[in-house]
Structure 1
Amino acid sequence: MYELNWSLLIALLSLVISIFGLYNSWKSRINNEKFWMKEQYYKSLGEAVKIEPSHEYIASKATESSVVIYNKSDFKVYDVVVLQGLNNMDLFNGQCISKVCYIREIRGQYCEHFTMKHKGLGMSKFLVIGVFFRDFQGKEWFRDSYGITKNGEGYKDRLSKLHLISPPYPHKIDNQ
Structure 2
Amino acid sequence: MQSFYIYLYRDPKDQTPVYVGKGIHNRAYIHGSASSNPKLKNLIRCRRAEGYVIEPTIHYEVDEATALEMEKFWINFFGRADLGEGTLFNLTDGGDGCGGWNRGRVLTPSHKAAIGAANKGRKCPPNSEEVRKRKSEAAKGRPKTEEHKKKLSLSQIGRKKTPEQVEKNRQAQLEHNRRKRELIESDK
Normalised to the residue count of structure 2, the TM-score between the two structures is: 0.28
Structure with bigger helix share is 2
Normalised to the residue count of structure 1, the TM-score between the two structures is: 0.29
